[in-house]
């Protein structure tokens, strides 16, 4: 059954957008940490996207995507009122959220900030003191700043060029915070692989529990193929059903990063074909 | 009819089925076996001896009345033949193509003792293919519309593979509304993501599903049993019974070093990309597949054959199949092994993988292999493969496909309190009725037995459907609507 797009918001023009979808049966069940698999058109591939927010009362879920290849570019041609061919979920294990003895630091990078938003909100609702640290290359690329500020007592910002907040990386702010606050109960990190790896390495000396949400290649998202497999503590796990969240100190990030390049060449071909046909279409 | 001198008939050779030329078909995804013409079907049907106590029927897991339908084929009445088959089998066009007939109906055929058995599978396929355009409701119930529909009952089937489709078809034909919940975006389970187009055209599956929609079965895709909806929620929301037919889709890996290298795939992933994602049309379709040059497939079942033949069609220079035992022990359908060899598959018997070897970019470059020999029989009754110590070699390969079996997916059992499972998560079900440890919750197919055949899953779906119908309608109304089509006025 096709799923209607209710609203679309361009968060970073030409790069990142937010879609609010009418999906009551998914919204009713979606918990922080869950994701969906979607397909845009009849000959489309299945891609995973984290649920950035869910409103069970309104029956909606929110997805945020970065345009980085054919499918996300194709997705971005759709607008409010259009339909997505397939949306399947909620998938994956929800984030483990309990009332904790100390603050939770949620670190988000790039589009990962959207996924982090849902988790930070979950921790906030459970009564935890949530500190969020978000980072980007420059101020214009910071996502969900207002949303996070609406419920987080502390929103720390870093940019590579220093156009907003601290100049540097999210890990700089994180290490500073961990050094001065020994009561931090957990660190959650979501973003590109190098960023999650850096966070895991930064927290390791402090011995703070660190959870990362892995973005491996997925096909079905329900545990039937193992495309998303990743080595955690020396054991093979399927990110779609055993995760996507794992102990950041046990994840084999090198293996994950390598497997993400499996189809690099095919992805390039597919995107080029799409851009060619899209340009032709526009010039007519 | 056709009761003339059986001894002469027994000598008539089995009617061959036309096939695509191996050289041509090894590079395309068109169906290999092309099917009988009406003349061929009539000639083959005439070979049947019409046994009084047909052994073939006992050999069929859903007990199709084989002599009765073949009699109608010989007489040229395909409507009646289809009616006989559909009394017990909801997916004849599929079964005629993918059943291992040599160990089932045809393996029991009396003609096979001295010569070749009647080609029951090919005849079933012929009848179904000839008939698919007709209304399923009319065929099964003898009326154009399902007038006996009950609006006070409803049953949910989780999964849309062969067991669930059979269960749903049986119940719908008896007027019970059925909703089928499927996790993927297409209906059919292994029939659409596993078995390739060249063996089972997807159009055939879609037509069978269309016939079930005509019977009133509702399909909901993108609904994941255990995630989007759970068994307790279905019961609470008013479903009178639930059938769990989610299969055994969790791939098993080998557990050897290097298994996560780029280029190592589970057969499930490889086949899902190609079949469900139609990656063979990339980049016209978006799902990419891996362009293997030297491909090694591990396993000896149908899934291994399908993977190997798919890799060939996608342009591999060399495809080898490594199996721990010998060809004799391979559990695949004989016809597929024969076809695969004709297409150029290299078979490496008595070989097991030791390690996947990669380069500094994490890509597979070679596989270390261990030579095996056959030892004493194991639990399965087959000779256990034993390593020949010190006898190893290295094979060059840029792609490996692991097809060494699957396990039970835990999504349903994890989300259903009180559901009993045994041995690595398979669901415990009564062998007669399929009922689980929860009343009115039934299960059948691979999620109960572990990976088996399409037809045995269908047999389980049918047994459960019968038990469900008996419970909901009472024993009398649940009986099959008899051989109505076979005894039709058309015959009189």
**B372 and B258 belong to one structural domain:** yes
Q: What pTM was estimated for this model as a whole?
A: 0.88
| Contact (CB<8Å) B286/A269 | no
- Proportion of chain B in helix, strand, coil states, percent, rounded to 5: 35, 20, 45
Shortest Cα distance, chain A CAs vs residue B87, angstroms = 31
Which pLDDT does position B442 carry in this prediction?
Answer: 98
Cα–Cα dist A266/A158, whole Å: 34
Rounded to an integer, the average pLDDT of B112-137 is 80
**B44 and B10 belong to one structural domain:** yes
Cα–Cα dist B125/B134, whole Å: 15
**B366 and B265 belong to one structural domain:** yes
In a 10 Å sphere around its CB, with 0-12 CB exposed, 13-18 middle and 19+ buried, how is residue A276 labelled? exposed
**B272 and B392 belong to one structural domain:** yes
Of A222, A225, A259, the CB nearest to B411: A222
Test mutation, A2, A3, A224, A263, chain B, max B CBs within 10 A: A224
**What confidence tens digit (pLDDT) does each residue in B181-214 have?**
999 999 999 999 999 999 999 988 888 888 788 8
**What confidence tens digit (pLDDT) does each residue in A135-148 have?**
988 888 888 999 99
Q: How many domains does chain B have?
A: 3
Helix (H) or strand (E) holding B101: none
In our burial notation (b when 16+ CB lie closer than 10 A, e otherwise), range B381-413 reads: eebebeeeeeeeeebebbbbbbbbbbbbbebbb
Preceding omega of A244 cis (within 30 degrees of 0): yes
Nearest alpha carbon to residue B45 among B130, B103, B138:
B130
Test mutation, B179, B183, B218, B222, chain A, max A CBs within 10 A: B222
Indicate whether B304 belongs to any domain.
Answer: yes
A73: left (phi over 0), alpha (psi -120 to 50) or beta: alpha
**B155 and B97 belong to one structural domain:** no
> The tokens of B45 are what?
């049907």
Shortest Cα distance, chain B CAs vs residue A252, angstroms = 11
**CATH code of the domain covering residue B278:** 3.50.50.60
Q: What is the CA radius of gyration of chain A?
A: 19
Of B369, B404, B439, the last residue of a domain is: B404
Residue B149: band (very low, low, confident or very high) from pLDDT cuts 50, 70, 90: low
Which pLDDT does position B454 carry in this prediction?
Answer: 87
**B373 and B470 belong to one structural domain:** no
ipTM: 0.93
Q: Which residue of A has its CA nearest to B264?
A: A227
**B125 and B260 belong to one structural domain:** no
Nearest alpha carbon to residue B209 among B248, B160, B244:
B160
**B260 and B374 belong to one structural domain:** yes
Rounded to an integer, the average pLDDT of B350-375 is 95
Contact status, residue A59 vs residue A23, Cβ threshold 8 Å = yes
Which domains does chain A carry? Answer: 3-91 (2.40.30.10), 104-261 (3.40.50.80)
Q: In which residue are the tokens 């918001």 written?
A: A9
**B331 and B462 belong to one structural domain:** no
Shortest Cα distance, chain A CAs vs residue B480, angstroms = 33
Binding-site annotation: residue ranges of A: 225, 228, 240
Indicate whether B137 belongs to any domain.
Answer: no
Supply the DSSP symbol for B46.
T
**What confidence tens digit (pLDDT) does each residue in B163-179 have?**
999 899 889 888 899 99
**B68 and B157 belong to one structural domain:** no
For residue B277, the chain A residues in CB contact (below 8 A) are 45-46, 219
Residues 6+ apart with CB under 8 A from B211: B132, B135, B136
Task: Share the mean pLDDT of chain A.
Answer: 93
Q: What are phi and psi of B310, to 5 degrees?
A: -70, -45
Of B404, B425, B458, the last residue of a domain is: B404
Residue B27: band (very low, low, confident or very high) from pLDDT cuts 50, 70, 90: confident
**What confidence tens digit (pLDDT) does each residue in A23-82 have?**
999 999 999 999 999 999 999 999 999 999 999 999 999 999 999 999 999 999 999 999
**CATH code of the domain covering residue B74:** 1.10.1060.10
Of B107, B132, B157, the last residue of a domain is: B132
Which pLDDT does position B30 carry in this prediction?
Answer: 85
Structural domain of residue B22, as residue ranges? Answer: 5-132
**What confidence tens digit (pLDDT) does each residue in B399-421 have?**
999 999 999 988 999 999 999 99
Residues 6+ apart with CB under 8 A from A33: A50, A92, A93, A94, A95, A118, A119, A122, A213, A244, A245
Contact status, residue B111 vs residue B49, Cβ threshold 8 Å = yes
């Amino acid at each position: 059954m096709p799923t209607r797009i209710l609203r679309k918001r361009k968060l970073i023009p030409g790069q990142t957008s937010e879609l609010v979808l009418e999906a009551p049966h998914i919204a009713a069940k979606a918990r922080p940490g869950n994701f969906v698999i979607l397909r845009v058109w009849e000959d489309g591939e299945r891609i995973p996207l984290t649920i950035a927010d869910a409103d069970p009362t309104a029956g909606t879920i929110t997805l945020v995507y970065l345009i980085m290849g054919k499918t996300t570019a194709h997705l971005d041609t759709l607008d409010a009122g259009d339909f997505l061919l397939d949306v399947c979920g909620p998938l994956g294990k929800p984030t483990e959220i309990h009332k904790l003895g100390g603050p939770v630091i949620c670190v988000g990078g790039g589009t990962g900030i959207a996924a982090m938003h849902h988790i930070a909100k979950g921790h906030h609702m459970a009564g935890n003191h949530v500190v969020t640290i978000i980072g980007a290359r420059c101020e214009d690329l910071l996502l969900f700043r207002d949303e996070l500020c609406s419920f987080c007592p502390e929103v720390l910002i870093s940019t590579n060029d220093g156009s907003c907040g601290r100049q540097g990386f999210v890990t700089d702010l994180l290490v500073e915070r961990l050094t001065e606050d020994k009561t931090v109960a957990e660190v959650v990190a979501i973003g590109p692989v190098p960023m999650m790896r850096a966070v895991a390495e930064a927290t390791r000396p402090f011995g703070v529990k660190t959870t990362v949400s892995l973005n491996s290649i997925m096909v079905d998202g329900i545990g039937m193929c193992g495309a998303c497999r990743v080595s955690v503590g020396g054991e093979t796990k399927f990110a779609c059903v055993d995760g996507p969240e794992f102990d950041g100190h046990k994840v084999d990030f090198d293996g994950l990063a390598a497997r993400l390049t499996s189809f690099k060449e095919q992805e390039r071909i597919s995107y080029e074909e799409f851009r060619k046909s899209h340009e032709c279409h526009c010039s007519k | 009819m056709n009761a003339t001198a059986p001894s002469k008939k027994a000598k008539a050779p089995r009617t061959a089925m036309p096939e695509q030329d191996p050289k041509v078909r090894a590079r395309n995804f068109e169906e290999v076996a092309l099917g009988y013409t009406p003349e061929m079907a009539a000639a083959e049907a005439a070979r049947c001896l019409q046994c009084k106590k047909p052994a073939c029927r006992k050999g069929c897991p859903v007990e199709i009345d084989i002599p009765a339908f073949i009699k109608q084929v010989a007489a040229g009445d395909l409507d009646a033949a289809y009616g006989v088959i559909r009394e017990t089998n909801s997916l004849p066009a599929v079964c005629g193509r993918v059943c291992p007939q040599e160990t089932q109906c045809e393996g029991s055929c009396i003609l096979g003792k001295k010569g070749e058995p009647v080609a029951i599978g090919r005849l079933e396929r012929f009848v179904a293919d000839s008939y698919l355009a007709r209304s399923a409701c009319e065929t099964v119930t003898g009326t154009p519309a399902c007038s006996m529909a009950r609006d006070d009952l409803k049953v949910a089937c989780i999964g849309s593979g062969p067991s669930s489709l059979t269960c749903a078809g049986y119940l719908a034909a008896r007027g019970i509304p059925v909703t089928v919940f499927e996790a993927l975006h297409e209906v059919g389970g292994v029939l659409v993501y596993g078995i390739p187009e060249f063996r089972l055209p997807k159009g055939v599956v879609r037509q069978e599903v269309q016939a079930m929609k005509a019977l009133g079965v509702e399909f909901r895709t993108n609904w994941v049993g255990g995630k989007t909806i759970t068994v307790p929620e279905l019961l609470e929301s008013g479903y009178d019974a639930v059938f769990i037919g989610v299969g055994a889709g969790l791939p098993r890996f080998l557990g050897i070093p290097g298994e996560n290298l780029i280029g190592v795939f589970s057969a499930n992933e490889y086949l899902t990309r190609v079949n469900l994602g139609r990656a063979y049309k990339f980049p016209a379709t978006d799902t990419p597949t891996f362009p293997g040059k030297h491909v090694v497939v591990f396993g000896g079942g149908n899934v291994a054959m399908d993977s190997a033949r798919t890799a060939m069609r996608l342009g591999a220079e060399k495809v080898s199949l490594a199996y721990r035992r010998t060809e004799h022990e391979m559990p695949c359908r004989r016809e597929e092994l024969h076809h695969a060899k004709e297409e150029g598959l290299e078979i490496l018997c008595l070989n097991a993988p030791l390690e996947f070897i990669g380069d500094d970019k994490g890509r597979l470059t070679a596989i270390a292999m261990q030579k095996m020999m056959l030892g004493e029989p194991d639990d399965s009754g087959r000779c256990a493969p034993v390593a020949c110590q010190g006898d190893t070699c290295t094979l060059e390969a840029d792609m490996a496909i692991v097809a060494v079996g699957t396990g039970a997916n835990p999504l349903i059992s994890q989300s259903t309190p009180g559901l009993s499972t045994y041995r690595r998560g398979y669901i415990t079900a009564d062998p007669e009725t399929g009922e689980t440890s929860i009343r009115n919750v039934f299960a059948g197919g691979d999620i109960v037995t572990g990976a088996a055949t399409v037809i045995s899953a269908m047999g389980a779906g049918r047994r459960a459907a019968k038990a469900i119908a008996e419970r909901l309608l009472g024993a009398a109304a649940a009986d099959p609507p008899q051989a109505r089509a076979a005894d039709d006025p058309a015959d009189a």
